[in-house]
Structure 1
Amino acid sequence: MIECLLTGANGTMESVETPSPGCWVNVVAPSSEERAWLEGELGVLPEFVRSALDEEETSRIDYDDDAHQIFVIVDYPVVDEEGTGVRASLPLQYDTMPLTMVFLPEKSLFVTISIRENEVVRDLKDGRVRGVDTRYRTRFLLQMLLHISQLYLVYLRRIDRLSSNTEARLHASVRNEELIQMLKLEKSLVYFSTSLKSDEVTLNKIMQGRIIPLYEDDQDLLEDVLVEIHQAIEMANIYAGTLSGTMDAFASIISNNLNIVMKVLSVITIVMAIPNIIFGFYGMNVDLPFDGVPLLDNWAFPLLLAAAGCLVAAWIFKRKGMWH
C-alpha cells in the first residue's frame, strides 16, 4: 500500500493523489509493482528498499553521496500476532519491527517504509501527534522518533502490569499457562532492550548533526527523544531483572514442592511395604512367632499387624516435620 499525505492549511493530514514537494509518502508492505514504483518513480535506492523490508535489519543511519539520500531505520514496539484477534486466549508476547525513513532532498519528499501496518504511522496519519508538519522533514523525523520512544514506555508499563497479574495467579496455582506467559514477557523485554540500545546508537549519530542538519528547535526535540529512550532502557533493564528473579523463585518453589511430594510418596511406599512383609512371612512354610503358645496362637497375626502399625505411626509422628 502506498499513500501520499500532506499537511494542510488547517494543520490536518490530507491525502493527495501524487507526490508533491513537502509530501509524506507512506509505504506499507509494498508489492513488487509498488517496489518498482518506489525505485523508478521516486528514485529510492534499491538497497535502501531491500534493507527496509528485512525484518532482521538493525537500527542505523546511512547516507548515499551520489543520490544524496538519507536512510534512517529504527525499531518500534509491536504486539505479537498470536496474542491478538481470534487467538487472544494464547499467552501474550511483544516484539519489535523495523521502520524505515528516507529523505529525498531533490524532490523534497519524506518516505516511510514498513513491513506491516503499525501504530506509529497510524497515529501520525490520524492526527494523534500534535504539531506535525510534513514540510519540515527533520522535525517530522524527530516527532516520529519521539512517538516511538513513548510507545516503548507505554508497552513496558503494560508488560509490568501483565507480569504482576500473572505472578498473582501463580501464587494461587502454579500452572503451565502462567509460566509460559512469564517466559514470553521475559523474551519481550530482551527484544525491547536490544532494540532500544540500537535505537540509542542511531539517535546519538543523528545528534552529531553530520548527516542530518539540526536547528536549535530540533536539538531540543532530539534531546527529549534521548531522554525518553534512556528512560525506556532503564525500565526494560529493571523489569527484566525483576522478572528473571521472579522466574528463579518460582522454579525453586516448584522444585521444593516436587521434593515434598516425593517424600510423601516414599512414606506411603514404606507403609504399604510393611504389611506385605508380614503377609510374606505367613505364606512361608516355617514356624512363626507365638506358634503353639496358648491364647496367642489365634491372635498372633493381628497382634503383629497392630505392632507394625504402631511402629510406623510412631516413626511418622517423630518425623512429622517432613509434612510441612
Structure 2
Amino acid sequence: MVKYYKTDNKLIHEEKEIGNGVWVQMINPSVSEGQYVAEQLNLDIEDVLAALDEEESSRIELQDGYTLILVDIPTIEIRHEKESYTTIPLGIILTADEIVTICTEDTPVLHTFIQNRVREFSTKKKLRFVYQILYRTAALYQSDLRVIDKMRTEIEERVGNDTREEDLIALHELESTLVYFATSLRANGVVLDRLTRYKRLEQYPEDKELLGDVIVENQQAFEMTSIYRDIVQGTRELMSSVLDNRLNTVMKTLTSVTLIMAVPTVISGIYGMNVDVKWMPLAKTTHGFSIIIFLTIVICVILILILRKKKML
C-alpha cells in the first residue's frame, strides 16, 4: 500500500500523486508499487524494498541524488499464541524534494504524524521529519520496555507460591526480546552518530537540538534494556532455583516416607518367611502379634523423630 501526504498550514492531508514536499508512505508494498515509486523518484529498487527484509541491519547509505536510512523499530508479533515484542526495519529515503518511508507494518511510530499530533511537523522539512521519526522510535522502545518490565514483575510476584515452568519460558522470551532490543538500539545509535555529521541536506539550529534529544532518548532506551535484561536474568535464575529447591524438597520427603515404610515392610517380610515356628521370636507368646505391631510402631515413631530433627520431614 502506498499513500502520499503533505502538510500545508501545519495540517497534513493526503495527496493523489508524488510531488514536491510530499511524504510517500509505503506499507508492505508490492514489487510493482516499489518499481513505480523508484521510477518516479529515480531510486534503486533494491533500496526502496530493502526495509522489507527483516534481516537488514541499521545503516546509512549515501547514493547519487538520495540518502537511504535504515533503522530498527519495535513491533508486536504473535509467538506461542501470545503477544511478544520484536524489531523490524524501517526504511527512510531522502531525496531533494521528497521523503519516503517503507515498512512491512503500519507502525505506531508514524501514526502520530498522520493524526497531526506532532508539533512543528512538516513534510517539507525532511531532515527534521527524520529526527522526529527517530525520536518517536526511541520513545516507543521505552514504552515497550516498561510493558516488558511490568510483565516480568507479574511473573516475579508468583515466585515461591505459584511458580510454573511456563513462567520460565515466558522469562526466556522476555530475555530474548531484550537482546533484540539491545542489538537494534546499538545499531540505531551508530546511525544517529552518523547523522550528527550529515551535511547533504540543510539543518536548522533546532534540528541539531532535536537530534541531540534523539541521541539522549536512544541511549536511555539502551540503558533501560541493559538494566531490564539483567533483572530478567536474575529473576529467571531465582525461579529456576525455586523450582529446583521444590523438587529437592519433594524428593527428600519421598525418601523419608520410603524409609519409614521400609520398617514394617522388613519386619512383616521376616515373619512371613516359611521357617519353623520355634525359631520366630514371640511366635508362641500370648499377644505376640500385638507386641510386634507395637514395637514396629515404636521404631517408626523414633525414626520419624530422628528425621524431623534432621529436618528431613
Q: TM-score range by the shorter chain?
A: over 0.9
Partner of 2:34: 35
CA contact (8 A) 1:5 1:15 kept: yes
Contact 2:49 2:102 in 1 (8 A): no
Equivalent position to 2:298, from 279, 301, 310: 310
Please say if 1:256 is aligned against 2:255: no
- 1:219 Cα deviation (Å)? 1.2
Q: Write the letter of the residue equivalent to 1:252.
A: S
Cα distance in 1, alignment partners of residues 77 and 55 from structure 2: 15
Task: Please tell me the residue identity of whatever aligns with 1:299.
Answer: H
Is contact 1:19–1:25 with CA below 8 Å preserved after alignment?
Answer: yes
Distance 2:134 2:203 in 1: 15
TM-score under structure 1 length normalisation: 0.90
Q: 1:1-324 alignment to 2 at 5 Å?
A: 1-9=1-9, 11-64=10-63, 67-82=64-79, 90=82, 92-105=83-96, 108-210=97-199, 214-286=203-275, 287-292=279-284, 297-320=285-308, 321-323=310-312
Q: CA deviation at 1:314?
A: 1.5
Give deviations 1:242-292, integer Å, cap 9, x for gaps. 111111011111111111100111112122222221221122122211234
- Count of residue correspondences: 309
Q: Deviations over 1:216-255 (max 9, x none)?
A: 2221111000000111111111111111111101111111
Instruction: Indicate if the aligned counterparts of 2:148 and 2:174 stay in contact, CA closer than 8 A.
Output: yes
Read off the aligned partner of 1:244 and give its amino acid letter.
Q
CA displacement at 1:41 relative to structure 2: 2.5
Moved over 4 A (4+): 210-213
Q: CA RMSD in A?
A: 1.8
1:103-156 C-alpha deviation (Å, 9 max, x unpaired):
121xx1100000111111222111222221000110110011011111111111
Paired residues of 1:52 and 1:99 also in contact (CA < 8 A): yes
Deviation sequence 1:34-81 (CA, Å, 0-9, x none): 1221222232212212422110111111111xx321000101111223
Letter in 1 for 2:219: H
**Bigger Cα displacement from structure 2, 118-127 vs 220-229:** 118-127
Distance in 2, matches of 1:182 and 1:129, equals 35
Q: Which runs of 5+ in 1 are unaligned?
A: none
Amino acid at match of 1:312: C
Amino acid at match of 1:217: E
- Aligned 8 A contact 2:159 2:242 in 1: no
Residues 257 and 42 of structure 1: CA distance in aligned 2, closer, same or farther (over 3 Å)? same
Offset of residue 298 of structure 1? 4.1
